């Protein structure tokens, strides 16, 4: 045996001895996997599945994690422990608490007061303590101190501080004292909304600045919506799977946004030819095992985000064909699995489980028959418009300098990957965030208006001339969960006004293309709710006959009244009061 091997084994043995039994005795361990780009990912070392503190099946016992972490053939590096709701443990994180290898004086004071297990973190700048008790508030962080008692992943080094015991002690009183001294004051100053204390808002700003610099505001607006939809998977009680379609003319840069998410295999699955029929297959030439492992799409996207760069096959064909696809998709996006029957395999599929996922797709504007079909089977998608660029210089650059475009995409991809990996690790993974705060009256009123806009603007018109609008429940749920997820992107668990901006853009995009200009014009508060035919013609850049038809359409949709205002029969549309744009919400620009 080499000297290096002997030394490593001795260090590993010593590390195991220093870790307290209160941690070692629990099957809440995982390993860290360092990828080629330097990113550390928490994994179950036996399955290489991503570790999730809310899912015990992704965690293992201490000996299993340690053995596989120490094994020469494994890629796992380092141990981790998941703090869950089922244990009495609290982890205290002292950030930037070490200088020249010694604890700072303020950190030393906490360590001595707690008198419980304390170790140096892997970066040797932070100190981690474990104690038994509860945190005074679910999300507790301030002044370089963070405490949590559930749904979080923590690295474990076993690098015990000299004067600390190798045991985890009950310290309820100390936890309250530390909270009051370091955290409570910070939470009561300024905004009183709940916060995780993560640096998410700064990281989100970095993503925003990078995308703005490389591709501009339109691309950032769509990216922000896509990030929010992806983050809906963090919510503990999603009502259904959320799907966002980026819609725009050919060459508008729709798939550019999707490329920012590609390659993040732990969270995203790309399929260029996916259709609703791909989720559960009945290929007669393949066995059940082959279908599950190699063909069926549903298990591969479970708890992930499906990227579909071209969804034209989802919305093409006759109305009956589209309705059949959308009906299948509706059952799939309920998140409870999906089963089908065939003569070859009989009943097969997936049930009795949580099969939620998210969809980010792109498509050119949908034909009216697609909107009509979705209106009769239940709309499952929301949309965000991506307008094309008028900057011919930029177009020429992208055509003639493909390398320059690729590098710009790569820079955006890097910050998006870094950001999503960070928030998924910090929050604890799929369905890890319980939402304990309700919406304010202002937010509820905004959500009501946005829901009503979508409900009426996308409604198909029956042969009787009446609109066939849905109940509004699904779109209201989708917008609310997107707003919640956007708050999570900022490190908050309270929806604020700024989280509704992305919902406003989605609401004003989730309707047929030909309706958008006139709906937006009549809703725009700058127009005071009233527009004549000539005024509307000027704003929407359409012919007079087309505008007059659209004015009557607004009346049919129930958004505005179309009336003749003078003896010459000049038509005017008057927005209905229930569609008045909220004063506190900025009207989007597209």
**Higher pLDDT residue, 10 or 238?**
238
Look up tokens 């004003």; give the residue.
508
Which tops the pLDDT comparison, 394 or 178? 178
Q: Give residue 395's pLDDT.
A: 64
pLDDT grade for 304, boundaries at 50, 70 and 90: very high
Q: What percent of the chain has pLDDT over 90?
A: 60
318: its two tokens: 């006759």
Provide the pLDDT confidence category of residue 344 given band limits of 50, 70 and 90: low
The residue-averaged pLDDT of 98-109 equals: 93
Architecture of the CATH domain 202-426+433-507? 3-Layer(aba) Sandwich (3.40)
The larger pLDDT score, comparing residue 393 to residue 96, is at 96
Mean pLDDT check: name the lowest of 110-124, 184-198, 231-245, 531-545: 184-198
**What are 262-271's pLDDT values in tens digits?**
999 999 999 9
pLDDT (mean) for 28-51: 80
350's CB contacts (< 8 A; 6+ apart) are: 280, 296, 298, 299, 337, 338, 339
Structure tokens at 32: 């860290």
Q: What is the pTM of this model?
A: 0.70
CA 248, CA 181: separation in Å to the nearest integer?
53
pLDDT in tens, 516-555: 999 999 999 999 999 999 999 999 988 989 999 999 999 9
273-301 per-position pLDDT tens digit: 888 888 988 675 677 677 777 778 999 99
The larger pLDDT score, comparing residue 500 to residue 3, is at 500
**% of the chain at pLDDT higher than 70:** 88
Residue 410's pLDDT is 93
More confident residue, 399 or 425: 425
Q: What's the mean pLDDT when you consider all of the chain?
A: 87
Residue 187 has pLDDT above 80, yes or no: no
Q: Mean pLDDT throughout 467-474?
A: 91
Does pLDDT of 370 surpass 70? yes
At 549 the pLDDT is: 94
> What was the pLDDT predicted at 343?
52
Mode of pairing for the β-strands spanning 118-120 and 152-156: unpaired
Tell which wins on pLDDT, 118 or 392. 118
For residue 396, the model assigns a pLDDT of: 72
- Measured CA to CA, the distance from residue 107 to residue 96 in angstroms comes to 9
Classify the C-alpha dihedral 233-235-236-237 as positive or negative. negative
For residue 146, what pLDDT is reported? 87
**Residue scoring higher pLDDT (357 or 425):** 357
| pLDDT computed for residue 294 by the predictor | 77
Q: Would you say residue 189 has pLDDT above 80?
A: no
Hey, CA dihedral for 213, 217, 223, 225, is it positive or negative?
positive
Residue ranges matching CATH 1.10.10.10 in the chain: 514-579
40-43, strands of its sheet edge to edge = 40-43, 29-34, 76-83, 152-156
**Fold of the 514-579 domain:** Arc Repressor Mutant, subunit A (1.10.10)
Q: What element of type H or E holds 552?
A: helix 544-557
Q: Which is more confident, 553 or 139?
A: 553
**259: pLDDT strictly greater than 70:** yes
| The pLDDT of residue 361 | 97
pLDDT tens for each residue of 203-236: 898 899 999 988 999 999 999 999 999 999 999 9
Q: Please report which confidence band the pLDDT of residue 200 belongs to, taking 50, 70 and 90 as the band edges.
A: low
- Measured between alpha carbons, how far is 316 from 437 in angstroms, rounded to an integer? 42
Q: Where does CATH 3.40.50 sit in the chain?
A: 202-426+433-507
């Amino acid at each position: 045996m080499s000297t290096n091997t002997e030394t490593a084994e001795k260090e590993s043995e010593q590390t195991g001895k220093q870790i307290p039994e209160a941690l070692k005795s629990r099957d809440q361990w995982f390993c860290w996997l360092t990828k080629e780009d330097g990113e550390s990912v928490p994994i179950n070392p036996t399955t290489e599945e991503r570790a999730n503190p809310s899912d015990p099946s992704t965690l293992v016992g201490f000996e299993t994690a340690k053995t596989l972490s120490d094994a020469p053939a494994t890629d796992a590096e380092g141990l981790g422990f998941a703090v869950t709701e089922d244990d009495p443990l609290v982890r205290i994180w002292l950030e930037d608490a070490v200088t020249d290898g010694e604890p700072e004086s303020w950190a030393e004071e906490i360590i001595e007061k707690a008198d419980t297990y304390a170790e140096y973190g892997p970066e040797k700048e932070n100190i981690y303590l474990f104690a038994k008790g509860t945190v005074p508030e679910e999300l507790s962080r301030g002044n370089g101190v963070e405490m949590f008692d559930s749904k979080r992943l923590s690295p474990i080094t076993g690098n015990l501080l000299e004067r600390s015991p190798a045991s985890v002690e009950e310290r309820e009183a100390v936890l309250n004292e530390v909270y009051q001294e370091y955290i409570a004051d910070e939470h009561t100053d300024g905004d009183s909304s709940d916060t995780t204390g993560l640096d998410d808002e700064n990281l989100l700003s970095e993503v925003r600045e990078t995308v703005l610099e490389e591709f501009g505001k339109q691309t950032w607006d769509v990216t922000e919506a896509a990030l929010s939809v992806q983050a809906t998977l963090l919510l503990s009680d999603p009502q259904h799977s959320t799907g966002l379609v980026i819609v725009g003319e050919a060459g508008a840069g729709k798939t550019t946004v999707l490329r920012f998410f590609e390659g993040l295999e732990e969270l995203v699955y790309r399929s260029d030819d996916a259709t609703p029929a791909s989720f559960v297959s009945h290929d007669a030439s393949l066995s059940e095992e082959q279908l599950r492992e190699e063909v069926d799409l549903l298990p591969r996207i479970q708890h992930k985000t499906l990227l579909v760069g071209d969804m034209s096959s989802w919305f093409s064909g006759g109305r009956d064909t589209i309705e059949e696809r959308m009906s299948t998709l509706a059952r799939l996006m309920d998140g409870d699995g999906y089963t089908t029957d065939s003569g070859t395999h009989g009943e097969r599929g997936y049930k009795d489980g949580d099969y939620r996922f998210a969809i980010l797709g792109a498509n050119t504007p949908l034909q009216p028959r697609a909107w009509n079909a979705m209106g009769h089977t239940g709309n499952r998608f929301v949309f965000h418009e991506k307008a094309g660029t008028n900057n011919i210089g930029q177009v020429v650059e992208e055509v003639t300098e493909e390398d320059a475009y690729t590098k710009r995409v790569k820079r955006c991809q890097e910050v998006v990957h870094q950001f999503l990996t960070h928030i998924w690790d910090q929050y604890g993974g799929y369905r890890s965030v319980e939402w304990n705060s309700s919406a304010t009256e202002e937010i509820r009123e905004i959500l009501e208006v946005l829901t009503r806009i979508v409900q009426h603007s996308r409604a198909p018109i029956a042969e009787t001339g009446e609109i066939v609008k849905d109940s509004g429940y699904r779109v209201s749920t989708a917008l609310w969960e997107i707003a919640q997820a956007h708050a999570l992107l900022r490190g908050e668990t309270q929806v604020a006004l700024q989280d509704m901006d992305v919902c406003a853009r989605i609401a004003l995009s989730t309707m047929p293309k030909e309706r958008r200009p006139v709906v937006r014009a009549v809703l725009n508060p700058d127009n005071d709710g009233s527009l004549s035919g000539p005024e509307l013609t000027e704003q929407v850049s359409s012919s007079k006959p087309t505008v007059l038809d659209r004015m009557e359409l607004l009346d049919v949709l129930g958004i505005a009244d179309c009336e003749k205002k003078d003896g010459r029969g000049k038509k005017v549309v008057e927005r209905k009061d229930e569609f008045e744009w909220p004063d506190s919400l900025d009207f989007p620009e597209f």
